[in-house]
Chain A
């Protein structure tokens, strides 16, 4: 079989090595809140990979991994605050089982969920997006840029230090977080049918900071 090099040649070199195809793909909703898209593995009609989803605050021993320590000004030392949290994307075992059932029900065939679709991240120049002042505050005070997780369950840790007036500003913004549209956005790409597609994982900050 002879093919000509077509427009696909214009793809930048990317070495995602996982053959998933659009045929048999589907979108499902888990627990009414988690939207997940699945793709069949090429050559295996039963095998499905899910598109990374459910970017959320990480938990350890059933406790959300987020903390805010703040202190008042005293003597020469100015007021300050340290914010630290960990996030991750994945599907829980329960969600994976549910997803398998949903796929089986929808396709009337046995479905095996193999794992996440292979993705590559796009290096971000910032993590926080939105119109609120909180976004600027977080982007400017992020202590170091964490590596972007490409495997499920791998956590990304963020640490921020706020000084002086920034502390009051942060507390004010957190009080009004319910109205905020601010969010974390992680950008990835993946390939389906050998075509590159973008993937954005979002986490609303109001879902993150409600634990503080």
Chain B
């Protein structure tokens, strides 16, 4: 007899339904019963179910705009819950009283739950369990063998599933049920008897005429036992009041099978036999078919040829039984739909996960400027955060990497406790130009909150027209007019000069110069040189781009 339980086993034969509990008498203990757990549900802590369903959304930067300004955000759902099976104390009390009444015995006690030998849960949900893989991975699992122990479930799901589940939660019976499959062992009813095999008679039967290699199936062994029984080769006795039947017959059959046959592994059967075996065992559907109603395969054992063998079968035996505790997760939304600890919808706008992107856009004309004047340019950005941290970022262009430039570059900073959203957008930036010939120029730090820094050349073309009557200059014997301009250029003082000769047939009467963007005027000096060597000069400042070369100052 297999005894694997250290606790007192229960007797299967004594099953009693007492109020809401299924109870069994305890073997060897008069008036003691045990019960099967009868209730399953969500675990509850401080009056609140240990359950949460979060639906979350966050911005979809890649949404397909289409014809509507309302587009689909990203997001999904997160479901977490704990479940357990148990037996309410009230049910135990009622069941105990019922047992006492049924058996008219006040000393009957319910001692506790039947010992569960193996537990398994099955999650039943078409929303959460989708596909064979899901069924295997999360649809089933081990459950605790002690009642009141918790099993945790957690599911991450996409938007569609979360929406369907939310709608399902609004129903009285949402699409989540959990079944606890609880295995327990119990003792069968007692029987007392013996089986005797007369080997002399067996030797004379058809059983002994079979080849030692022959394959037998359950139906064959049953037929043989029937023949041997009818021939008197097998006899069975039962003692006392036990009748011959039920468990005792089962046990007798089992003993005979072990004495006279040995099980055969399917892969040890030769090909011809194998085909027959498959068909007999699984039917015409073959191995893919159901195992229900299947058969076992045997070979004859080498047996005695004379004498008798008697086997006692006077015992109880343990059998495995299953008990199910199933529950639907229930009408949670109606009861807790307004409790944000249970159901919550959240637009994820958490500052921690925000970042600011400052794009640096370079003007198309800048490419030509790089060829003419600019060696490189660096754009620096610094952000002073509320928590005291400072983020410094820089992007850099030169002639080489400008060739690959195909869009704005960006500088990023995070939100570091920058609670004031408007202030968070503020930053400082500076641009550092390196010129091919004329040194470098770095702008002061400028404040901005714009998302784009457009990069323009820090200088501008300035044209100065030299206007005047050249005939008049000739009449006054002016041989030449020297035009000199002077202006600041990124830390330097830059000078340019132009010579006009009135007696020449053609003269350049325009000065093209480049001024820093913030410089709007130039200093100039006009010098008239006469045929006799006399020189007269005039100086001033021009902001309009016009110098009159025939307005000769009065001579001394």
Contacts and interface: CB of A to CB of B under 8 A. Distances in A.
A80 B323 contact: no
A32 interface: no
A165 interface: no
Given A9-B226, A9-B229, A3 B177 contact: no
A85 B324 CA distance: 16
B324 A3 contact: no
B171 A11 contact: no
A65 B246 contact: no
Given A2-B237, A17-B189, A193-B245, A144 B252 contact: no
Interface string A109-151: 0001111101000110100000000000000000110110111
A115 B230 CA distance: 39
Interface string B225-251: 110011010111110000111110110
Contacts of B326: 86, 146, 149, 154-157
A129 B248 CA distance: 37
A98 interface: no
Interface string A8-51: 11111111111100000000000000000000000000000000
Contacts of A153: 20, 38
B222 interface: yes
Contacts of A71: 164, 167
Contacts, number: 200
A154 B127 CA distance: 23
Contacts of A6: 229
Given A5-B236, A86-B328, A151-B22, A19 B189 contact: yes
Interface in B1-46: 12-13, 15-20, 22, 36, 38
Candidate in B17, B188, B234, B244 with the most chain A CB atoms within 10 angstroms: B17
Nearest to A17: B188
Given A5-B236, A15-B250, A154-B324, A84 B174 contact: yes
Contact of A9 (B102, B172, B253, B330): B253
Interface in A62-93: 63-67, 69, 71, 77, 80, 82, 84-86, 93
B42 to A, nearest CB: 13
B124 interface: yes
B340 interface: no
Interface of A: 1-19, 60-61, 63-67, 69, 71, 77, 80, 82, 84-86, 93, 96, 112-116, 118, 122-123, 125, 143-144, 146-147, 149-161, 191, 193-194
Given A18-B189, A147-B181, 15 more contacts: A5-B226, A5-B229, A5-B252, A9-B253, A11-B250, A15-B247, A67-B175, A80-B164, A86-B326, A93-B19, A143-B129, A146-B124, A151-B22, A156-B179, A159-B175
Interface of B: 12-13, 15-20, 22, 36, 38, 102, 122, 124-127, 129-130, 135, 139, 160, 164, 167-168, 171-175, 177-179, 181, 186-189, 218, 222, 225-226, 229-230, 232, 234-238, 243-247, 249-250, 252-254, 290, 292, 317, 319, 321-328, 330-331
9 contacts: A4-B236, A10-B222, A15-B188, A64-B173, A65-B173, A69-B168, A114-B102, A116-B17, A161-B127
